[in-house]
Structure 1
C-alpha cells in the first residue's frame, strides 16, 4: 500500500489546483486565518488518505506524541490549532485529507441528483452578492470541483479495507498503527514521499 501513496499525493495536488483555480476565478477565497470548517465534529476520512500525515509524524518523531493525544479522543481534528495564524489553522496543512481540500467551495448533488454548490458558511456570509450571481449560472456551478469525483478517486485508489470513512482522528490513529507496526521501514525516516500541494 505504501507504493500507492505517491499517486495519492498527485491526486491531492490536482484537487488542490482545481479548487484554488475555481475559488480564485469566482473570487470566493477562504478568509485568512479561518478554521471554521475544522471546528466540525463530523469531519470524516479513510485510513488510506491519512497515511501521508501518519508517515510525516513518524519521520518527524511526533508519532508517539500524537498517538497519545488521539487516545484522549479529541472531538475536532487533532491538527486544528485555532491560534495558528496561517493555512486555515491546520498544523499539518500539506498532509490534510481530501475533504479538507474542498471544504470552501465544491460541487455536490442534491437529493434529486442535481448539481449544487456546497459552500462554507463563512464564505456565504462574506460574499453573498457574488454567490447569488454564481447560483444563477448552471455553467458556473458545473465548473466547481466535484466533491464526489475527487473523493471517489481517493477511495478507488485505496485498498478496500483502508477505504472506509470514519471520524478523521480515528482514521489518523489507525493509519499511525499501520505505518508504525505493519510496515517497518528500512530507512528510519520512512519512505520518501513527494511533497503534497
Structure 2
C-alpha cells in the first residue's frame, strides 16, 4: 500500500466493516461494555500497534495537538494508561474514551469479538472480569449462542486484515508507545509533505 494517509484510510475502512459486525452482535447478544467502565482502559499494558492508531494520530494532527501529545508521551518514565482515556475515579477504573471515534482495533474488539480456545476449539468471548461478574447469566447465554449459530467477529481475522495493510506497522507495544509511534510517523509525514509543497512553489 502507498502513503501513510492511504494506510490510515484503509484502517478506517476496516473499522467501519468491524463496526457493522459488532453492532449486529451487540443487538443479538446484548453484551457491550458496562457504561462508564474504564477497567481495561486504565491498564497501561494493553497491547496495540502504531497502525491501528494512525487514524487517531492524523486526527490529533488536524486539531493541532499531535506534537503536544507526542511530547507528553515521550516524557513518560513508565508506560501509563491510554493518553486519550479520561479517568473519573481515583483508581482509574471509571472513565471514558476522550476520542471514541478514533479508538484502536483492540478497543473495538473488546466485548465485541471472540477467540478460539486452542484445546477445545470453542469460541470464547473476549471480555473482562467486571462484565463477566455483573452480567454472568447473559455472558453464559452468549457463550452458548456463539458456539451454536450466533455470528460473532473473530479477533484473529481482524488482526490478519490489519496486518495486510502494513505488517511492519502492526507490531505490538504498550498502548501509549503505539500511539507515540503513530504520532511520530504522522508528524514526520506532515513535515516532509509540507516541505515538498514549499519547495514546489
With normalisation by structure 2, the TM-score equals: 0.81
- Number of residue pairs matched? 182
1:167 counterpart = 2:170:
no
Aligned residue among 152, 176, 180 for 2:160: 152
Aligned 1:46-195 pairs, distance under 5 A: 46-73=49-76, 74-83=79-88, 89-112=96-119, 114=121, 115-137=123-145, 138-140=147-149, 143-158=151-166, 160-183=167-190, 184-186=192-194
Q: Deviations over 1:26-52 (max 9, x none)?
A: 121222222222012221221121111
CA distance in 2, matches of 1:147, 1:185: 35
CA distance in 2, matches of 1:21, 1:101: 14
Task: Specify every segment of 5 or more residues in structure 2 that has no aligned partner in the other structure, as ranges.
Answer: 90-94, 196-201
Greater mean deviation of Cα atoms: 130-139 or 40-49 = 130-139
Q: Does the 8 Å CA contact 2:49/2:171 hold for their aligned counterparts?
A: yes
Q: Deviations over 1:140-190 (max 9, x none)?
A: 5x62211111111111111x3212111121111111111111343449xxx
Aligned residue among 7, 22, 30 for 1:27: 30
| Pairwise CA RMSD | 2.2
Larger radius of gyration: 2
Task: Specify every segment of 5 or more residues in structure 1 that has no aligned partner in the other structure, as ranges.
Answer: 188-197
